[in-house]
Structure 1
Amino acid sequence: MVATSGHAWGATVPQEDVDLYERAGFGRTAGLGERPAILVIDVQYRTVGHRRVPIEEAMKEYPTAAGDRGWRAIDSIVATLPVAREAGVPIFFPHVAPKTETTAGGFKGKSPTLASPNAEAYEFVAEAAPQGGDIPIAKDHPSSFFATPLVTHLIERRIDTVLLAGCTTSGCVRASAVDAFSYGFKVGVLQDAVYDRTDTVHNTSLFDMGSKYADLLDESAALAYLNSLRAQR
């Protein structure tokens, strides 16, 4: 079974594809460790917009905004973070650093709209912004690990598990999941707390990550896991 708590991909992934992956041996539950950290990735106004409106309307403000698709996930993040803090779980906020014409990377050719000239676009969404003790991690590339000090922070805290929230499911979340897995961390994706611009790429990415790199947890499973850690303190 690919997901640890319910199928996240709905009708997007055909059952015959799910069966093929299971026959190949993908999708087992790896389990989570005892010392997790949460990565809240790119929850900035550039990825949702300032208002809870459908994506087509949100894109009028920022072409990269996911609109209400993102706000639904942010609601789940808002419900999860206080429980994590009470459990003593470190929370990191990898985020897109302001991009300019001198910023290195291939985005200029593939997706130049990532370089918003509006400084407000890069601000954290207020409802899910870092609090005292949380650690912002600026990044220029999709993975939260690439060319950032994140691994050093995790090693210093003896972290064995990385829980991922934020966006986009197919981009920075997936890139971070692959790198976390490659570094030897157990990986959990908070499937109600990640978002993307279309259901197709969101659901397919959840299926792919759940098959190969991560356990998928819905909000109730994530809260139960965090509450179990709090009970052990």
Structure 2
Amino acid sequence: MAAIAPKARPWDGIIPAEELAIYRQAGWGSPTGIGSKPALLIIDVQYRSMGDKPLPIQEAILTMPTSCGEYGWRAVPHIARLIEVFRVIKAPILYPHVAPKGAHDRGQFENKVPGVMDVPQHAYEFVAEVAPKPGDILIPKFQASAFHGTALTSYLVGLGIDTLVVTGCTTSGCVRATVVDACALNFKVVVPQDAVYDRSQTSHAVNLFDIASKYADVLPADELADALLGQVAHS
């Protein structure tokens, strides 16, 4: 398949033009396209990162400090669209997710963000609109990267996967860490820009710029959906 080169950029107006010119001149950010065996990762799309209902983030964090508020809820329809496509093309869907934390799970991240130790049990449930179905693969994790200390690589190798579509949250945290590790393992990686989210929109945009420059292709979910369906139609 031809490499994907999206037109719209989430970092437009945030990364200065002179810095964009430096990256272009140096040759950063070449698109790599999609391989023949994609898998969809849905990272941490649980109520802990959303809140129980769509609210502005300033309100959402009053009851769920780990919530990304409306930014998470805006991503849900785009994640749902990709789930629909992956079911149509019969490609694997995997759910790396934050495992409930016990007292013995407190580490350096928890020391930096102690509020994560107080997330109520129900908040670890998957958001209903994009929840897994029988046959999907669940990957509980305790660190940012979906690869760290999990069986994710074994699943992907066993399934013959060559491309990862990474959705979920947060763009600057678990998504980025997973994307970097996936690139290091020589998977092609695609990040649909509107199917990932973060509590900081500046951090979201800057991290997508960095991801697109070094580790993955970044494009809108609808463009990616069309490309995946088109690839199957021409196979």
Residues 45, 169 of structure 2: 8 Å contact kept = yes
Match of 1:197 among 196, 199, 209: 199
TM-superposition CA deviations, 1:126-147 (whole Å, max 9, x none)? 0010012111100000000010
Distance 1:5 1:126 in 2: 32
Q: How does 1:152-167 map to 2 (within 5 A)?
A: 152-167=154-169
TM-score by length of 1: 0.95
Q: How does 1:1-233 map to 2 (within 5 A)?
A: 4-103=6-105, 105-231=107-233
Q: Percent identity?
A: 45
Unaligned runs of 5+ in 1: none
**How many angstroms does 1:230 deviate by?**
3.5
**How many angstroms does 1:45 deviate by?**
0.3
Distance 2:125 2:49 in 1: 10
Distance 1:71 1:108 in 2: 25
Residues 4, 29 of structure 1: 8 Å contact kept = no
**How many angstroms does 1:232 deviate by?**
5.0
Distance 1:154 1:143 in 2: 15
TM-superposition CA deviations, 1:167-209 (whole Å, max 9, x none)? 0000000000000000010010011100000110000000000
**How many angstroms does 1:21 deviate by?**
1.3
TM-superposition CA deviations, 1:99-127 (whole Å, max 9, x none)? 12201531222111122341011110000
Count of residue pairs brought into register by the alignment: 233
What SS does the corresponding residue of 1:60 show, helix, strand or coil? helix
Opposite residue 172 of structure 2, the aligned amino acid is S
Distance 2:96 2:75 in 1: 16
TM-score by length of 2: 0.95
What SS does the corresponding residue of 1:64 show, helix, strand or coil? coil
**How many angstroms does 1:3 deviate by?**
5.5
Deviating above 6 A after TM superposition, structure 1's stretches of 4 or more consecutive aligned residues are none
Opposite residue 213 of structure 1, the aligned amino acid is Y
Unaligned runs of 5+ in 2: none
- Larger mean CA deviation between 36-45 and 7-16 belongs to 7-16
**How many angstroms does 1:35 deviate by?**
0.3
What SS does the corresponding residue of 2:103 show, helix, strand or coil? coil
Opposite residue 170 of structure 1, the aligned amino acid is S
